[in-house]
Structure 1
Amino acid sequence: MPVPDPALRRRAVFMLLLTSLYWGMSFPLMKAIGQLVEVEAPGASSWFYGAMMIMPRFLLAAMVVAVVIGPGLRSITRAEWHQGALLGGFSAGGMLLQADALQFTEASTVAFLTQFYAILIPLYVAVRTRENPGARVWLCAVLVLVGVGVLGRFDWRALRLGRGEAEVLLSSIFFGVQIFTLGRSEFAHNRPLPISFVMFAVQAVVFGAVVLVSAPDVAAIVAPLRSVPWWGLTLALTAFCTLGSFLIMNKWQPHISATEAGLLYCGEPVFGSFMTLFLPGLISAWAGLNYANESLTGHLLVGGGLILIANVLLQLRRSAA
C-alpha cells in the first residue's frame, strides 16, 4: 500500500528510480562480462556464459551483507528466510533467462522487453479483484504488445519471436512475481538486510549449480578469474547493480503499490538504452573487447517508444486516481 506520508512516498519513488538507473547499467556490463567469459572459455554453452555473468556478483553480495550483519545472521526469522528464498528463486529464474537472452539479442532490446511486467502487474490485479481496469489500461496493453512486436522484430509469417526475445518475455513474468512478493502483507515486518542476504545466497546457489552443470570443464570456470577486466566489471556489477539496486528495492518498494513500482522500474530500459550508446565503447577500450556502441535504430525508437508511451499513460492514470 502507498505510504500516507507524501514526503516518504516521494523519497521511495526517487529511490526506486535510482534502482532503475543501476539496473540499466547492468545490461552493457553483463554483456561485456559475457564476452570476456567467452574469450577465456571458448566453446561453452550460452547457459554457462549467462550463469558466469551472474553467479559471482551474488556470491560476493551475499558475503558483503553477511559481514555487515555479522552475528545478526542467527536472528533471521522464519518469515525473512521464507521471503528471501522466494525473492531469490524468482529473481534467479528471471535473471538466468535474461542473461541467456543477452547472447542472442541487443542489450537495449533486453532492457526494454524486460519491462513487460509493467503491464502484466495491473492486469493481474484487475483479474484478481474482478474489476475492469478501464479503456486506458486496455489501450496500454495493446500499445505494449505492438511495441514488443516491433522491437523484437516479430515474424508474423512464422508467428514466433526469436530465442532471445522469448526468453526476456518469460523472465518478465518471474520479475513480476518478485515484485508482488515484496509487497505481501505477511512480510511487512521483515528487515531489508536479512531478506537481502537470503535472496543473494539463494541466487548464488542457483547460478553456481548452473555453472557446475553447464561448464565443459573446471578450466572454463577458473579461466575468467585470471582476467583483470573480468574482475573490474564484476565488482562494478556487484557494487552498483546488485548491492545498490536490490538493497534499495528491498527497503523502499514495500512503501508503494506493486503496480506503481512496476511502472517506476520502466526507467530501467531508458537508462539502459542511453548507456549502451557510449558505455560499450568505453568498456571495450579498457578491456580489449570488440563491443560496439549501439545506435538509435528505427525498431528501437518505434518499439521502445510505444512501450514507454503505454507506461506513461498508466502512470498518468495512477496520478489521476
Structure 2
Amino acid sequence: MAVVPAPRPLMGAVLLLFVSAAWGSAFPLMKDLIHRLPVEDLLAERYLLAALTLLLIRPRCLRGLPRETWTNGAVLGVMFGIGQTAQAVALHGLPSAVSGFAVGCGVVITPLLALVVHRTRVPRRVWYGVVLALCGMTAFTLMRGVGEHQISLLALAATLAAAVLYSGHTLLLGHLSGRRAFRPYALTLIQLATIGLTTGAVGARDGITLPAGASDWLLLAHLAVVSCALGFLARSYGQAHVPAVPSAVLMSSQPVWVALIAVIWFHEQVGWSMVVGGGLMAGAMLLALPARAAVVGKDRRRGRRELLDLSRTAARALANRRISREDPLRLYGEQVPYIAKSACANAASCPWHTRSLKGGGEPSLERLIERATTILRTRKPAGPDCCESVARLGRCLCELMGESEQEHIAGLPHWFHTK
C-alpha cells in the first residue's frame, strides 16, 4: 500500500511549475505539427505514446492494483480526454487568444467548484492569487489582439466546458492524493491510456495519420515523453503536496513559459503585454504557495484521518476474529451444573472456563490440568517413557472432571482428592 508522505509545499510547487513549463513548451510544437497532422490524431498518438513510455519504464506497475485505482484513473482520463477533444474541435471556431483565455478561466472555476462540491474554504490570499492569475491570463491573450477572426459562441461554450472538466480533474486528483492508498505512477499511466483512447475514438473516424518525417517524430516524442508522461507524473506527485486551488493557480502560468519559449527560440519581440502578464503571474504564484501553518494543519488533519482509518480497520479485524461459543461442553451426555455468577457471558456455553470465580468453590481448567499432571507423576515417576503421558494425561483429566462433577452434585465442598 502506497503511503503519501507529509506535505512539502516547496517541492510540490516546483513539480507543478515543471508541469506548467512542460505543457507550455508543447503549445508552439503543436502549433507547428497541426499543419501536417490532424489535431485529433496528434492528441491520440501523443497520449498513447506517453502511456507506453511509462509502461516500459515500470512494466509491473499495474499488477495487483485495487479496482478503485482503475476506476479513478479511468474517470480522470475520460474527463481530461473529453476536455482535450472539445478544445481541439473548438479551435476551428475560435482564435488562439480567445481559446487560451477560455481555458485559462479554469483558474477561477476551480475554487468555485471546490466551494460548491467539497465546501472547501479558500484563503483570502489565494483568492488574490486567482484574480492576479486571471488578469495575467488576460494580458497574455486578449490584450495581444484577436485579429479579425470570427468567434463562434458554440466553440466558446465547448472551450469553457473543457475548462470546467479540467478544473474537475484537478479537484478529483487533489482529493485522491490525500488517501493512504494513492498510487501516483499507476494512476498516471491509466489516465494517459484512457485519454489516448478517448481522443483516438474521435480521430479514428477518418483514419489515423502518422508523422511523415524524422523531425515530426522528434517533435511527437517531446510532446509524449516530456509534456505528457513526465508532466502528468509530476502533476500527480505535486498535487499530493499542494491543495487543488493553489495547484490550479501554479499551473495557470503556462502563458509565461510559452512567451519565454517564443522569445528564446522563435526570436519574438518582448511586448508590454508580456511584461505585465508575467509580473501578474509571478505575484499569483507567490500568493498561491501554501503557508507553513496551513501545511501543518493539513498534515495534522491527515494524521488524524489516518489514525481513524487504522482504528476502524483494527476494529473490523477484531470483530471478524471474535470467537463465539455455540456448542456447549457436555460431559457424560448431560449439561454440567454451573453457578449463576460466572466469568462467562453464557454459563451454559462454557462450564469449564480457564479462570474460575474466586470464592465460588469451582476449579478452573488450568487447576484441573495441573492436578491431573500431579496424579500421573505420583502414579508413575518420570523416566524415559514419560513422553507417552500425553494421552494418559487426557484420560486422567476426564476422570478427574467426572469425579469432580459427582462430588459437586453430591454437595461436597472439596473438589480435589489424591488417591
Which TM class, normalised by the smaller chain length?
Answer: 0.7 to 0.9
Q: Residue 168 and residue 175 in structure 1: after superposition, are their counterparts in 2 closer, same or farther (change >3 A)?
A: same
- Higher mean C-alpha deviation, range 181-190 or range 28-37: 181-190
CA contact 2:77–2:190 (8 Å) conserved in 1:
yes
CA contact 1:16–1:261 (8 Å) conserved in 2:
yes
> Normalising to structure 2: TM-score of the pair?
0.57
CA contact 2:140–2:274 (8 Å) conserved in 1:
no
Q: Residue 134 and residue 165 in structure 1: after superposition, are their counterparts in 2 closer, same or farther (change >3 A)?
A: same
Aligned to 1:257: 243
Q: Residue 27 and residue 139 in structure 1: after superposition, are their counterparts in 2 closer, same or farther (change >3 A)?
A: closer
Amino acid at match of 1:204: G
**Deviation of the 1:95 alpha carbon:** 1.8
CA contact 2:211–2:217 (8 Å) conserved in 1:
yes
> Is residue 2:262 matched to residue 1:268?
no
**Deviation of the 1:233 alpha carbon:** 0.9
Aligned to 1:18: 18
Q: Residue 105 and residue 227 in structure 1: after superposition, are their counterparts in 2 closer, same or farther (change >3 A)?
A: farther
RMSD of aligned residue pairs (Cα, Å): 3.8
**Deviation of the 1:318 alpha carbon:** 6.3
* Secondary structure of residue in 1 paired with 2:63: helix
Match of 1:182 among 173, 183, 188: 173
Q: Residue 74 and residue 134 in structure 1: after superposition, are their counterparts in 2 closer, same or farther (change >3 A)?
A: closer
Higher Rg: 2
- Higher mean C-alpha deviation, range 108-117 or range 13-22: 108-117
Match of 1:85 among 53, 70, 74: 74
How do 1:282-297 residues align onto structure 2 when only pairs under 5 Å count?
Answer: none
| CA shift digits 1:188-240 (9 cap, x unpaired) | 42212211121111111111111112x2xx4xx34x43332321110110111
CA contact 2:83–2:166 (8 Å) conserved in 1:
yes
CA distance in 1, matches of 2:54, 2:20: 21
Match of 1:247 among 229, 233, 241: 233
> Is residue 2:103 matched to residue 1:114?
yes
CA distance in 2, matches of 1:149, 1:25: 19
CA distance in 2, matches of 1:261, 1:67: 29
How do 1:130-279 residues align onto structure 2 when only pairs under 5 Å count?
Answer: 137=127, 144=134, 148=138, 151-152=141-142, 166-185=157-176, 187-213=179-205, 215=206, 218=207, 221-222=208-209, 224-279=210-265
Unaligned runs of 5+ residues in structure 1 are 38-48, 282-292
CA contact 1:26–1:241 (8 Å) conserved in 2:
yes
Aligned to 2:369: none
Match of 2:62 among 39, 59, 73: 73
**Deviation of the 1:99 alpha carbon:** 3.0
CA distance in 2, matches of 1:68, 1:317: 33
Amino acid at match of 1:20: S
> Normalising to structure 1: TM-score of the pair?
0.72
Unaligned runs of 5+ residues in structure 2 are 295-419
Amino acid at match of 2:186: P
* Secondary structure of residue in 1 paired with 2:211: helix
CA contact 2:33–2:216 (8 Å) conserved in 1:
yes
**Deviation of the 1:123 alpha carbon:** 2.5
CA distance in 2, matches of 1:312, 1:58: 28
CA distance in 2, matches of 1:14, 1:146: 20
Aligned to 2:358: none
Match of 1:129 among 92, 114, 119: 119
CA contact 2:50–2:229 (8 Å) conserved in 1:
yes
CA distance in 2, matches of 1:318, 1:114: 27
Q: Which has the higher helix share?
A: 1
CA distance in 2, matches of 1:143, 1:108: 16
Which structure has more relative contact order (CA 8 Å, sep 6+)? It is: 1
Could you tell me the percent identity over the aligned residues?
23
CA distance in 1, matches of 2:277, 2:153: 17
CA contact 1:25–1:241 (8 Å) conserved in 2:
yes
| CA shift digits 1:213-269 (9 cap, x unpaired) | 2x2xx4xx34x4333232111011011101110011112212221011111112222
Q: How many residues are treated as equivalent by the alignment?
A: 284
Q: Residue 163 and residue 307 in structure 1: after superposition, are their counterparts in 2 closer, same or farther (change >3 A)?
A: farther
- Higher mean C-alpha deviation, range 50-59 or range 91-100: 91-100
* Secondary structure of residue in 1 paired with 2:59: helix
**Deviation of the 1:187 alpha carbon:** 4.8
CA contact 2:84–2:199 (8 Å) conserved in 1:
no
Aligned to 2:312: none
Aligned to 1:308: 281
Amino acid at match of 1:242: C
* Secondary structure of residue in 2 paired with 1:70: coil
Q: Residue 278 and residue 104 in structure 1: after superposition, are their counterparts in 2 closer, same or farther (change >3 A)?
A: farther
